[in-house]
């Protein structure tokens, strides 16, 4: 499953303006040496390497402000909405309000074994940081992502490869019941403002237990297990 999604913000650089048509057309305008580009475009390729854990539509956002989350801290309500119910709109809004430069969303859940390609363009900024997030939908509150990855200094043609790990939002107990897992394995409740995880802290997810492992209340099966990392991402600056 390969999808390409594009969003453009800001002005295109002069080097992107090209002539077309007949012999009387003007010559292409070139950016003078030493003049910085006014926009940059990143191509982000996300791959789901799990056996039975779809990711909710991926959010990619670029901002210059605060990180969307930090390990060992309590999740914001905006992150909780994504981690429990797969809804990214509130998190996207909060990132936009914190020095937002641009954002793009996947069109559909990213199923196991599939990849998706997204592109985001934004006004060039050395302080630009990339956030990537999506829920692992056959879980209570597991999500994948990167928080505040520096991308502003990435040169044209430069690449960054990262493993994507499963994170526990720490907002809901991992009971794996039919009532609390919203994905296709159960169809239960998504976001609930009440927090039932005693720790209430973001940490690396230890994986699901499942009914096949002896958790009698679990609606999940062996195919829903996962080991870290659960995905990969390739970030390329193409302009």
Q: Please tell me the predicted confidence (pLDDT) of residue 136.
A: 98
Question: Among 94, 88, 209, 223, which Cα is nearest to 140's?
Answer: 209
- Token look-up 């998706």 returns 116
Conformational region of residue 21, where left means phi above 0, alpha means psi within -120 to 50, and beta covers everything else: left
Q: Is 80 helix (H, G, I), strand (E, B) or coil?
A: helix
pLDDT of res. 18: 32
Residue 100 CA from chain centroid, whole number: 15
Q: State both tokens at 168.
A: 């526990």
108 vs 85: CA distance, rounded Å? 14
Give the separation between CA 216 and CA 178, rounded to whole angstroms: 12
pLDDT confidence of residue 36 = 55
- Give me the pLDDT at residue 87, please: 98
Show pLDDT as tens, one digit a residue, over the chain (239 residues): 444 444 333 333 333 323 333 444 444 444 445 545 589 999 999 999 999 999 999 999 999 999 999 999 999 999 999 999 999 999 999 999 999 999 999 999 999 999 999 999 999 999 999 999 999 999 999 999 999 999 999 999 999 999 999 999 999 999 999 999 999 999 999 999 999 999 999 999 999 999 999 999 999 999 999 999 999 999 999 99
Instruction: Write the DSSP symbol of residue 78.
Output: H
The alpha-carbon radius of gyration of the chain (Å, integer) is 20
CATH architecture of 4-11+39-237: Sandwich (2.60)
Q: Considering only CA atoms, which of 112, 115, 114 is closest in space to residue 185?
A: 112
Burial class of residue 218 in the structure, from the number of CB atoms within 10 Å of its CB (0-12 exposed, 13-18 middle, 19+ buried): buried
30-41: b or e for each residue (b if 16 or more CB lie within 10 Å)? eeeeeeebebbb
Please, what's the b/e burial string for 55-79 (b: 16 or more CB within 10 A of its CB; e: otherwise)?
A: bbbbbbbbbebbebbeeeebbbebb
């Amino acid at each position: 499953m390969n999808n390409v999604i594009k969003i453009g913000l800001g002005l295109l650089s002069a080097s992107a303006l090209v002539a077309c048509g007949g012999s009387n057309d003007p010559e292409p305008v070139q950016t003078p040496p030493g003049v910085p580009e006014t926009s940059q475009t990143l191509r982000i390729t996300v791959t789901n390497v799990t056996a039975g854990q779809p990711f909710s539509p991926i959010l990619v956002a670029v901002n210059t402000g605060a990180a969307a989350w930090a390990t060992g801290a309590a999740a914001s309500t905006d992150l909780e909405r994504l981690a429990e119910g797969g809804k990214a709109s509130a998190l996207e809004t909060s990132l936009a309000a914190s020095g937002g430069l641009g954002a793009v969303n996947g069109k559909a859940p990213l199923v196991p074994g599939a990849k998706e390609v997204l592109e985001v363009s934004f006004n060039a900024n050395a302080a630009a940081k990339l956030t990537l997030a999506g829920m692992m939908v056959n879980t209570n509150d597991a999500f994948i992502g990167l928080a505040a990855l520096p991308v502003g200094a990435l040169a044209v043609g430069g690449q960054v490869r990262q493993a994507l790990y499963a994170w526990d939002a720490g907002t809901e107990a991992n009971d794996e019941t039919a009532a609390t897992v919203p994905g296709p394995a159960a169809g239960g409740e998504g976001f609930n403002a009440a927090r039932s995880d005693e720790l209430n802290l973001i940490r690396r997810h230890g994986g699901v237990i499942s009914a096949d492992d002896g958790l009698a209340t679990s609606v999940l099966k062996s195919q829903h297990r996962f080991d870290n990392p659960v995905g990969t991402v390739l970030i390329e600056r193409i302009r």
